[in-house]
């Protein structure tokens, strides 16, 4: 993170703290759903736990943004009393690695919607592998596991990828991200539109 600016670190930290709180709320909500409908009830909302990695990476566009932001959010969850305790930090790292791997594959140069969707799905895959070996998923039937995985992939794409982009773009339009890579990109787009309109 040597090339990071102080403002980038601050923005990422604030976003991570906010979503750490959001994550904890959804953890309790997910526990209620799982208590009523079983573990598969978690899957439709699972993508929300990946969203900060997509948002941070999309806004800052530097190596490590997805992993570090997800880890910070998990640390906040732990400090606020997540039922999993310190293990939630490990889970956060696993989820962050899944998204980071997708951005790594593009050498941190592509942040289009398809890439963001894949980043959300990357977290879905890494977290599912973790759950298979650590959370007892290996005891479920192959068919049940497949359904869970498909739902989690869709959730990761929609709630992390698509929603993450929407949230980031909305923040950028307010002007609070003017110093960030996303804010600069938006400024260039507005300038091109303005120049085109004046022709």
Question: What residues have CB less than 8 Å from 65, skipping those under 6 apart?
Answer: 12, 53, 56, 57, 59, 103
pTM comes to: 0.94
Distance, in Å, from the CA atom of 181 to the CA atom of 50, rounded to the nearest integer, reads 21
Distance, in Å, from the CA atom of 50 to the CA atom of 125, rounded to the nearest integer, reads 11
pLDDT of residue 15: 98
pLDDT digits (tens, 9 = 90+) for 56-91: 999 999 999 999 999 999 999 999 999 999 999 999
Average pLDDT over every residue of 180-194:
85
pLDDT of residue 190: 80
Quick one: pLDDT band at residue 191, thresholds 50, 70, 90?
confident
- Give the count of beta carbons closer than 10 Å to the beta carbon of residue 3: 7
Query: What average pLDDT is seen over the chain?
Result: 95
Three-class SS string for the chain? Answer: CCCCCHHHHHHHHHHHHHHHHHHHHHHHHHHHHHHHHCHHHHHHHHHHHHHHHHHHHHHHCCCCHHHHHHHHHHHHHHHCCCCCCCHHHHHHHHHHHHHHHHHHHCCCCCCCHHHHHHHHHHHHHHHHHHHHHHCCHHHCCHHHHHHHHHHHHHHHHHHHHHHHHHHHHHHHHHCCCCCCHHHHHHHHHHHHHHHHHHC
Of 72-76, 142-146, 182-186, the one with minimum mean pLDDT is: 182-186
Distance, in Å, from the CA atom of 135 to the CA atom of 11, rounded to the nearest integer, reads 33
Quick one: pLDDT band at residue 198, thresholds 50, 70, 90?
low
Average pLDDT over every residue of 153-180:
97
Average pLDDT over every residue of 91-112:
98
Complete domains list, the chain, with CATH: 6-198 (1.10.1760)
Tokens 């699972």 -> residue: 46
């Amino acid at each position: 993170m040597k090339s990071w600016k102080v403002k980038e670190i601050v923005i990422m930290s604030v976003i991570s703290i906010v979503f750490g709180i959001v994550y904890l709320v959804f953890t309790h909500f997910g526990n209620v759903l799982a208590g009523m409908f079983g573990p598969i009830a978690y899957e439709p909302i699972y993508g929300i736990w990946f969203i900060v990695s997509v948002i941070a990476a999309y806004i800052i566009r530097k190596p490590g943004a997805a992993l570090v932001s997800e880890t910070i959010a998990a640390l906040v969850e732990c400090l606020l009393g997540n039922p999993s305790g310190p293990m939630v930090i490990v889970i956060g790292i696993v989820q962050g690695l899944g998204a980071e791997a997708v951005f790594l594959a593009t050498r941190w140069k592509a942040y289009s919607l398809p890439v963001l969707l894949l980043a959300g799905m990357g977290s879905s895959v890494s977290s599912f592998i973790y759950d298979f070996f650590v959370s007892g998923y290996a005891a479920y039937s192959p068919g049940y596991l497949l359904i869970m995985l498909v739902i989690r992939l869709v959730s990761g794409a929609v709630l992390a990828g698509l929603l993450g982009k929407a949230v980031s773009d909305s923040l950028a339009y307010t002007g609070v991200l003017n110093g960030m890579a996303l804010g600069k990109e938006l400024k260039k787009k507005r300038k091109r539109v303005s120049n085109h309109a004046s022709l």
